[in-house]
Copies of this chain bind each other. A is one copy, B any other.
Amino acid sequence: MAIVRNSEMRRELTVGEVAERSGVAVSTLHFYEAKGLIRSNRSRGNQRRYPRGVLRRVAVIKVAQRTGIPLAEIQAALSVLPDDRPLTVQDWARLSESWHEQLNERIASLMALRDHLTSCIGCGCLSLRECPLRNPHDVLSMEGTGPRLMDATEEDGQP
């Protein structure tokens, strides 16, 4: 019956069920709860009972983590979501948009690094001298000013 199936579908989930369906360990769910990333209701016997929305929430956490965002930031982002009403398209869209920006920045940064690596494979020097990505102070600054190749007879540009 629809009614039975419906109420079955709406049943709150135990921590084990959430763990299995979301692919994270029970201990991780405890941990996330302690960090304020998810919340639970409790059964009469003090066991956790999760509304199904927690599955999406955990999935979002995992996606955000893959973009390199630390849990504290994810927590902060999730904490602005309304607590009192079901979440809307706009709620999730705002979240994913803000992370999309950060993700793009990370990608751009890694691509710059890669391109630099590429352009320097030929000389093997990783361009420590003029590299904008990697030359914090004056590494190799005592070399001559022109570009130069290195071979087995020199190391760090010291003839």
**Contact surface of A with B, Cβ cutoff 8 Å:** 9-10, 20-23, 51-53, 55-56, 59-60, 62-63, 66-68, 85-93, 96-97, 99-100, 103-104, 106-107, 109-111, 113-114, 117-118, 120-126, 128, 133-140, 142, 149-156, 158
The distance in angstroms between the C-alpha atoms of A91 and B33, with both chains bound, is 48
A35 to B: closest C-beta gap in Å: 20
A36 to B: closest C-beta gap in Å: 20
Q: How many copies of this chain sit in the oligomeric assembly?
A: 2
Closest 10 interchain pairs by CB? Answer: A23-B136, A92-B124, A89-B124, A86-B155, A93-B124, A88-B152, A52-B156, A59-B128, A103-B114, A55-B139
- Could you give 5 example pairs across A and B, Cβ below 8 Å? A56-B140, A56-B156, A66-B134, A92-B126, A96-B120
Establish whether residues B111 and A107, one from each chain, have CB atoms under 8 Å apart when the complex forms: yes
- CB contacts (< 8 Å) of A110 on chain B: these are 66-68, 103, 106-107, 110
- CB contacts (< 8 Å) of A87 on chain B: these are 155
- CB contacts (< 8 Å) of A90 on chain B: these are 124
Establish whether residues B137 and A20, one from each chain, have CB atoms under 8 Å apart when the complex forms: yes
- CB contacts (< 8 Å) of A9 on chain B: these are 142, 158
The distance in angstroms between the C-alpha atoms of A146 and B24, with both chains bound, is 27
Establish whether residues B121 and A97, one from each chain, have CB atoms under 8 Å apart when the complex forms: yes
Establish whether residues B96 and A104, one from each chain, have CB atoms under 8 Å apart when the complex forms: no
- CB contacts (< 8 Å) of A55 on chain B: these are 128, 139-140, 156
Establish whether residues B88 and A151, one from each chain, have CB atoms under 8 Å apart when the complex forms: yes
